[in-house]
Amino acid sequence: MILPTFCGKDCGGNACPLAVEVEDGRPVRILRNPAAPPELAGCRRGLDLPAFHLSSDRILEPLIRVGDRGSRDFRAASWEEALTLVARRLDEIRTRHGPASILNLSSSGSTGALHDTQTLTTRFLNAGGGSTVLTGNYSNGAARFVLPYLFGPDAARSGFDPATLRHSRLILLWGANVLEARLGTELPARLLEARRNGARVVCIDPRYTDTARRTDAWWIPVRPGTDAALMLAILHVLLSEGLADADFARSRSLGFDELSAYVLGGDGGPSRDPAWAEGVCGVPAAEIRRLAREYGRTKPALLLPGYSIQRVYAGEDPFRLSVALQLATGNFGRPGGSTGSINNRLPGPRVGSLDELRRPENPGVPVLRWPDAILEGRSGGYPSDIRAAYVCGSNFLNQGGDIGKNVRAFRALDFAVCHEMFLTPTARHCDVVLPAASPLEKEDIGIPWAGNWLAYKRAACPFRGSARTDYDIFSDLAERLGFGDAFTEGRSARDWLDSFLAESEVPDPEAFRETGVYLAPDQERTGLADFAESPRARPLGTPSGLVELSSRAWARDTGLPPIPVWRPAPEEPGRPLLLVTPKSPLRTHSQGGDPGSPAARGGVVLSLHPRDAAARGILPGAEVRIRNGRGSTRAVAELTESILPGTVSLYEGSWFEAESGASESFATAVSDLGGSANVLTGTEGSPPSTACVMHGIPVEVERSGPTGPVGRSGT
């Protein structure tokens, strides 16, 4: 039997239309959905669904902790015992300390119209009186913070459909490794198609990635965290050599002349020319001029800024400047061009989804600062004193910055509960772990991260063991706590899906359930094309009606200059290497980061340039320690010229594993055996968005002794 499915993982292709072959209730393999266009293809993460479903490491019954937090010391329990305990502890804490004492520490580790884990947790906690919530996100926090200052509410329609790449003659992938990190299901196929049809691809990235290799790209290695300087220098060439379409930019933006004066040195500061930028970003001035000239002369050109360039200090400004560059070259809002915004910022097909039962009075803390909020509370300036955490669809202890601080925060909680398929580092620090259903055990509607289509999946396999869907777990808990009707509204999961489709634009819901794919009529939308064509007749929802490159609101709210400027990151003397932590093509964040995972392939690898390795006496395959003031982690050295000298790369997502005997050392630096990059990152964030800084981390690398599990971990 072959049924439609999608993985629902929290990546750029979360609702790829797939199919699963099932025999005797067991998944055999994942296939491409034959009803979907060939461009809507899945990736290796989706192909791993059967392995995750059938894994011997899956949690198949409720667990109650009997050992120390962080240990693997749990005992099995019945659902009755586990849910009774969770309900009692939540009720006690809420009654004694108020709803805000419970932290909603969930994310969309599972996505869908119904089974989105973040939405479900928020709805459950809001139905019970509220909680402390997280604001922003780890993925694109700086970009999401700044884009409304540029576009107002029209930021929500500033992206592009991947099919428009067929019009592009030049494609600039600025920190966008789209064949591995997946900025949408369709984009990889459309990029390769555009390259076959003659479009030139430029990859601006500290690493020569698989995307660069497969597109035969012009690789421009740039020092991590300095993209804004390179963008300013390109704008300098466009302006000084008459390659900018200044009239186009002026008629569609506010502040273009002010930004131009800053770039050319007319503000009394230095000229932000290629020679200046070379000393900052490491790209030769001649190479900057060559790129700027080709960019200025080639139409249409599409600039796609990846999330990596905003996961740095001052990560807000590169996205303001990517928009400025598209305006300056006349590629803004043009088919085959882009606005310079996030590519998924376009509305999808109309379909219902679960309501969070919003509570505006819920206090919020920036997602990056959740451990600080737990540890410091009101005395530290945070809005609540947190006693408990509800974790669903996330592995925040592993995926948040500064793992040492995250461990201390979990140890400070009175109670923590999570829904999980595996005993992740976060689950090991909870008091109760409830076994969650696998993607193949749930029926849902897939709403893609980017694209004008929908996916559907059937519950292809019976539940293994005592696993249950998150919706059913929350429904049972809500009933025990006295707000069951508010949470479920008397509806089963299938009732909700029926109602979502009844609200949708899908003309034949039964056919959609059968095929698993619905394509909306328009598959080639260019964001803000109407405004770009007629800015006076179709103004934006900003105060000026234009793209605000100079924003009074930005200056008022942040205390920074109204235009984007170069803001260098603070330096850390004695740590000459800069760490980047890219996404692995083999896993979604830390799903499958455990050494025993069925998805595990190979070891934890640190990529570094031979020049940097030689200076440290490091040979290929040597075990190394990566360290800074927050801690250290272990990896195996891979020497490659496909990385900029002075930069080292460690894939994010490997599971944290404290070094033996280090359980009491968390007051200072943490020693990790698992190859987890977030031992080295922090919770300070990028001002003013408080977005995560996961690239350009100052570190040192040295040879180390045997590392235990590090040689088996990684994916």
Q: What is the pLDDT of residues 474-518, one digit of tens each?
A: 999 999 999 999 999 999 999 999 999 999 999 999 999 999 999
- Res 598: pLDDT: 55
Bigger pLDDT: 344 vs 371: 371
- C-alpha 326/C-alpha 320 separation (Å) is 10
- C-alpha 340/C-alpha 325 separation (Å) is 8
- Res 665: pLDDT: 45
Record the tokens describing residue 645, joined without a space.
């000298």
Residue 639 above 80 pLDDT? yes
Residues 556-592 as b or e (16 or more Cβ within 10 Å = b): eebebbbbbbbbebeeeeebebbbbbbbbbbbbbbbb
Longest dimension (CA), the chain: 74
Record the tokens describing residue 361, joined without a space.
């009075």
- Res 416: pLDDT: 98
Residue 708, by phi and psi: left (phi above 0), alpha (psi -120 to 50) or beta?
left
Residue 706 above 90 pLDDT? no
CA distances to 20, 303, 380, 469 from 444, in Å: 15, 34, 42, 11
Write the CB contacts of 59 (distance below 8 Å, at least 6 apart in sequence). 420, 421, 422, 423, 427, 433, 435, 436, 467
Percent of the chain with pLDDT over 70: 96
Judge: domain 577-711, CATH 2.40.40.20.
yes
* β partners of residue 672: 658
- Res 596: pLDDT: 66
The model's pTM: 0.95
Residue 695 above 70 pLDDT? yes
pLDDT-derived band at 602, boundaries 50, 70, 90: low
- Res 594: pLDDT: 73
Phi, psi of 87 (to 5 degrees): -60, -40
In the chain, CATH 2.40.40.20 sits at: 577-711
Mean pLDDT computed over 174-193? 94
Environment class of residue 332 by beta-carbon count within 10 Å: exposed (0-12), middle (13-18) or buried (19+)?
A: buried
The pLDDT tens digits of the residues spanning 517-558 come to 999 999 999 999 999 999 999 999 999 999 999 999 999 999
The answer to whether the beta carbons of residues 56 and 70 sit under 8 Å apart is no
* Angle formed at CA 470 by CA 468 and CA 471, multiple of 5 degrees: 105
- Considering the four listed CATH numbers 1.10.1370.30, 1.20.1050.10, 3.40.190.10, 3.40.228.10, the one that applies to the domain covering 142-341+525-558 is 3.40.228.10
Residue 177 above 80 pLDDT? yes
Mean pLDDT computed over 638-642? 98
Bigger pLDDT: 473 vs 662: 473
In the chain, CATH 3.40.50.740 sits at: 63-138+353-388+402-502
pLDDT-derived band at 456, boundaries 50, 70, 90: very high
Q: Which amino acid is at 273?
A: D
Percent of the chain with pLDDT over 90: 89
- Res 666: pLDDT: 46
State which H helix or E strand residue 577 sits in. Answer: strand 577-580
Torsion over CA: 117, 119, 125, 130 (sign): positive
The CATH class, in words, for 63-138+353-388+402-502 is: alpha beta
Mean pLDDT computed over 31-39? 95
